[in-house]
Amino acid sequence: MSQGAMSVPQEVDQASEMPPWRHRIGFIAAVFGMFMAILDVQIVASSMNEIQAGVSASSEEISWVQTSYLIAEIVMIPLSGMLTRILSTRVAFVLSCIGFTLASLGCALATSIEQLIVLRALQGFMGGAMIPITQAISFSIFPRRAMGAVQAAIGMVLTVAPSVGPTVGGYITEFSSWHWLFLANVIPGAIVSWVAWRFLDIDKGDHGAAHRLDIWGLMLMAIFLGCLQYVLEEGPGDDWFEDDVILSLSLVSAVAAAGFFFSTLRHREPIVRLHVFADRNFSLGAFQGFVVGIGLYGLVYLMPLFFGYVRGFSSLQIGEIMAVTGIAMFFTAPVAGRLSTSVDLRIMLFFGFVLVGIAIIMNACLTAEAGFEQFFWPQVLRGVGLIFCIIPVSRIALGTLPKAEVGNASGLVSAVRNLGGAVGLALVDTIRDFREDYHWSHLIASVSQGREPVIERLDGYERMLTGHSANPMQASVDLINDVVAREAQVLAFNDIFLWLGCLYLACAPLVFLLRRAGN
């Protein structure tokens, strides 16, 4: 077996043999751990105001509760293959889960924004390894004939968890307090850690590999990915390269990236094995995963923005609307898993991309009154489409690789998907700001006090505000400005939905560049 391989027990290394029950139980525990790690990315999304008040943070500081988690997670994900090589799958997963659980407890007990940011970073770093390790376990212990059901379960977690995160967070915050967003992980985390330790003994670690590691490559990768994630998260709000910090970190990230690739391609025991990108199915599958990440995380971020800024909905109302996608995914996953064993995976992936693209474009004609009814069917179709994307993408990218490469490749796929999510968030914020200014400038030009409809609206506002404002006329003008700003926001959201939908439709034909993968 080559260096860095995840060794697989003889009884499960056969193409037709199902793993023993103890390993299946361990795998189920790993799936639960992965669910917690992914859920915690978005569980705070609809509760930022309550957390901000709880730790007395400013509006600029509170965003780091999300940013610190994402930066730390994307640094850890590619390292998971290295950890399983050195420590074994069981030890690497259990250490990750225990660290995530303790960090969650620390987040709940944090009394300042500084403490919360550090602990959220630790939570993301420790929990990040559980995602690719679980994916690698599935390809290592299950035979090909069972991969439909197995990948359906994993695909459901990958898509449902971020979609229901705001919903779960909204309910927890509404009926308890923001502390329980993190305390809810403690008991499940302890149970998952114990079960994984007891039943996930599927390989042995190679402790000698630690002495052969590319330490410089490790540091350069951390700098490269950490700075890149920061730039993508903070760039839209800081006018990108107009800000000295963003510009400096972009240059640091570029230099670190060049050093990382140079070191990794030359070292005998690299942190990640980039040669897997020479496999066409893996490289194209990873790219498709990148696009899936843009839509998956970008839309989970975009929709609460619309409901919060345009409609003024509470976190609970937003969560209830967002739940539709998760419910659609939950009921679609078993069907998609069964189909993946008998249908060409490329056809499934094509269908998924087209369905998601159409669903997103269906929301490109919103008004300021759009609510649950306007989002219901697009969310249903999007949920179905995302499941039909996630399951084939993973199997196409990893299914043709030798088992010795799966642990490393799984970390790369997860990192690329999360990077797609970061790019998606940056695109959403940048396009929204740009298009909102564009539409406002065009709308305000048509609002002239000489136009009859404007005069009537001003007169109506002035009569309504007389006796309630010291200057009814100025207050009426302010209300007109608010209406224009709101409509500009709606048009900007429509633009984003349209462009994201077109992106998915444009990527759909690329699936036929893939080699047919065995089901």
How far apart, in Å, are the Cα atoms of 508 and each of 277, 352, 493?
A: 21, 8, 23
To which residue do tokens 């995602």 refer? 131
Question: For the chain, how big is the Rg over CA atoms in Å?
Answer: 24
Using CA of residue 157, residue 161, residue 164, residue 170, what is the dihedral sign? Answer: positive
- Distance between CA atoms of 479 and 414, rounded to whole angstroms? 47
Instruction: Tell me if 104 sits within 8 A of 152, measured CB to CB.
Output: no
Residue-wise pLDDT tens digits, 23-77: 888 888 999 898 888 888 777 766 777 787 777 777 666 777 777 787 788 778 7
Q: Whole-prediction pTM value?
A: 0.74
Half-sphere exposure of 409 (CA within 13 A, CB side): 31
The pLDDT assigned to 230 comes to: 80
How far apart, in Å, are the Cα atoms of 485 and each of 295, 432, 438, 476, 480?
A: 26, 13, 11, 14, 9
Alpha helices in 200-344 (DSSP H): 215-234, 244-266, 280-305, 315-339
User: What single DSSP character describes residue 308?
Assistant: I
The pLDDT assigned to 495 comes to: 92
The pLDDT assigned to 355 comes to: 93
To which residue do tokens 């409809």 refer? 453
- Distance between CA atoms of 65 and 47, rounded to whole angstroms? 11
Name residue 125's amino acid: F
- Distance between CA atoms of 240 and 231, rounded to whole angstroms? 8
How far apart, in Å, are the Cα atoms of 340 and each of 48, 144, 334, 390?
A: 39, 11, 10, 11
- Distance between CA atoms of 344 and 16, rounded to whole angstroms? 20
Instruction: Tell me if 96 sits within 8 A of 62, measured CB to CB.
Output: no
Report the chain (519 residues): mean pLDDT per 10 consecutive residues: 39 57 88 86 72 74 75 79 81 92 90 87 88 82 75 74 72 79 90 91 72 74 81 74 84 88 76 75 85 81 80 74 80 81 85 92 86 86 87 77 70 78 79 83 69 63 61 64 80 91 90 71
The pLDDT assigned to 150 comes to: 79
The pLDDT assigned to 3 comes to: 37
